[in-house]
Amino acid sequence: MVPISASVFFLRPLASLGRWGQWGGRQVQAVLRLGGAVLRNLPHAEPAAIWQQARDLGNRSMFFVVVVMAFVGAIMVVQASMQAQRIVGDLSIIGPGFMQLLVREFAPTIVALMIAARYGAGVAAALGAMQVTEQVDALRLCSAEPISYLVVPRVLGGLTSMPAIVVVGGAVAFVSGGLAGHFGFGIGWTSYFRTGFVVPSDVAIGFCKAAAFGVAVPLVSSWAGLSARGGARGVGQATTRAVIGSSVAVLFLDLVFGAAGYVAQRW
C-alpha cells in the first residue's frame, strides 16, 4: 500500500499536472480547429476588411510599439555594454551584434508580445461582446458565415501588417540603443551603426517569425473572443485569455523557429 505522504507529495501534483496538460491540449485543439475553418474560408475574404484590420493592428499600435521598443533598445544596449566592459572591454561589436539579435529574435518577439497585449485584447473584447450579445448568432441567421466575416480578415490583416510593424519596431530599438550607447558609454556612431553581422538567413528567420506571429496572435485572440460566455464578466475573461494565450503562442513559435533556424544553419 502506498503511504499517505507519498500520495500527497507525489501523486497529487502529478495528477494536477496531467489535468493542466489535458486542459491545455483541449485549448490548442480548439485553436487549431478555428485555424482549419479559417483556411476553408480563405477564398471569401474581402480586401477592404483585410486592410481595415491591417490598419488596426499596425498603424494604430505604432505609438505604443515605438515607445516600448525605444526602451527595449536602450535597456539591451546598456546591459550588453556593462557586460562587454567587464569581460572584453571592446564595445565596437555591440552595434552590429545587437542588430543581428534584433533581426533574429527581439524585434519579432517583443513587438508580437506588445501586439498581443494591444490588438489581441481588443479583438477578444470586440468579438466577446458580439458573442455574449448574440450578434454572432444573428450573423449566422443572416447566413453570413461568422468565421469568414470576423476571423479571416483579422488573420490576413495580421499576416500583412505584422512584418511591417516588426521592421519599424526593430529600427526604433536600434536607433535608441545607439543613442544610449553613445551618450552612456561613448560608443562611436560609425562603430555602432553597422549591419555587417546580419546574414540573409537571419533576415529569413526574422521574417518567418513575424509572419507566424502575425497569424497566431489574431487567431488565438479571435478564438478567445468567440468562446466568451456570460455577460460583462465573460468579456473580461476572454480578454485575459487572449493576452495569455497569444503570448504563450508567440513564445512557443519563437522557440520552434529558433531551434529550426539553428538546425538549418548547421546543415
Partner 1 sequence: MWSLLYALGQTGLAVAADAGGMAMVLGRTLQRLGPPRGDSRELVRALKRYGEESLPIVALTAAFTGMIMVVQGATYVQQYGVYNLVGRYTGFTTFREVGPMLIGLMFSGRVGAHHTSELATMRMTEELDALRVLAIDVYETLILPRILAMVVGMAALVVFGDLIAIGAGAVCARLMLQVEYAQFFQALLEHLGPMDFLIGVQKGLAYGLVIGVVSTHYGLNAKGGSAGVGRAVNAQVVASAVALFWVDYLMTSVVR
Residues that bind partner 1 (CB under 8 A): 20, 63-64, 67-68, 71-72, 74-76, 78-79, 82-83, 101, 104-105, 113-114, 117-118, 121-122, 124-126, 128-129, 132, 184, 231-233, 235-237, 239-240, 243-244, 247-248, 251-252, 254-255, 258-259, 262, 265-266
Closest CB to partner 1 among 43 and 86? Answer: 86
Min separation Cβ 225 and partner 1, Å: 10
CB atoms within 10 A of CB 107: 28
Min separation Cβ 211 and partner 1, Å: 18
Q: Determine contact, residues 163/210, Cβ cutoff 8 Å.
A: yes
Residues in the chain: 267
Closest CB to partner 1 among 160 and 239? Answer: 239
Cβ-proximal residues to 176 (8 Å cutoff; 6+ apart), any chain: 69, 70, 71, 73, 74
Among 67, 243, 27, 44, which Cα is nearest to 168's? 67
Min separation Cβ 119 and partner 1, Å: 9
Min separation Cβ 60 and partner 1, Å: 11
Cβ-proximal residues to 84 (8 Å cutoff; 6+ apart), any chain: 90, 91, 93, 94
Closest CB to partner 1 among 7 and 240? Answer: 240
Min separation Cβ 201 and partner 1, Å: 10
Closest CB to partner 1 among 81 and 161? Answer: 81
Closest CB to partner 1 among 7 and 83? Answer: 83
Cell of 218: 489574431
Please give the single-letter amino acid code of residue 168: V
φ and ψ at 109, to 5 degrees? -70, -50
Q: Determine contact, residues 253/216, Cβ cutoff 8 Å.
A: yes
